[in-house]
């Protein structure tokens, strides 16, 4: 169930500083996004390897993987996870990641927000999701038709853990982890 009031768009609520904890898209906000798209030049459609396409077919994660079921259909829910996984696949292809590293990137992108408590600034949700991912590695990798390996678990969990920490707030350990998992 949405906690976004039906009488105001997310744009209006954001302008008033009154965004609800659980946010769902509304028609006025979608129209605003459509009307305010950046004027970008046409870009070629990226070609994805068959493995990436197969992994993306599994990026619709089970509802039970979310820390709060209300988030499943919210701004940071399953549709966001699927879009982020697709973007990770495109970036993996564009940056030459191999068929070993690409799955870790796609999988990490799909689960990166699954342990959020709400749609607002939920500091620490990356660390919670990384811990959850490591604890559920066999289930998660199995969902994608993959076998979990220690190296891949560390890669994906590191990316997930660091995703909600601003670069300027990185500790020495964060910087070291980032360097190891940067690609």
CB 157 within 8 A of CB 180: no
* C-alpha Rg value of the chain to the nearest Å: 17
* Cα–Cα dist 68/53, whole Å: 28
pLDDT tens for 105-134 read 999 999 999 999 999 889 999 999 999 999
Kindly report which listed range (3-7, 124-128, 159-163) carries the lowest average pLDDT score. 3-7
Q: Which of 114, 125, 115, 102 is nearest to 56 (CA)?
A: 102
CB 139 within 8 A of CB 92: no
**Whole-prediction pTM value?**
0.84
* Number of helices followed by number of strands (H, E) in the chain: 9, 0
């Amino acid at each position: 169930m949405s906690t976004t009031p039906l009488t105001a768009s997310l744009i209006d609520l954001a302008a008033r500083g009154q965004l609800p904890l659980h946010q769902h898209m509304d028609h006025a906000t979608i129209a605003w996004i459509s009307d305010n798209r950046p004027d970008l030049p046409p870009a070629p459609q990226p070609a994805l390897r068959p493995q990436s396409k197969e992994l993306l077919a599994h990026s619709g994660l089970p509802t039970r993987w979310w820390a709060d079921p209300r988030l499943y259909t919210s701004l940071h829910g399953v549709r966001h996870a699927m879009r982020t996984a697709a973007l990770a696949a495109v970036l993996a292809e564009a940056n030459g990641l191999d068929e070993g590293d690409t799955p870790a990137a796609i999988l990490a992108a799909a689960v990166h927000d699954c342990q959020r408590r709400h749609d607002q600034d939920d500091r620490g949700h990356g660390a919670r999701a990384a811990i959850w991912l490591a604890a559920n590695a066999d289930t998660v990798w199995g969902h994608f038709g993959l076998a979990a390996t220690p190296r891949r678990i560390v890669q994906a969990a590191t990316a997930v853990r660091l995703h909600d920490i601003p670069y300027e707030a990185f500790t020495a350990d964060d910087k070291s982890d980032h360097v190891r998992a940067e690609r």
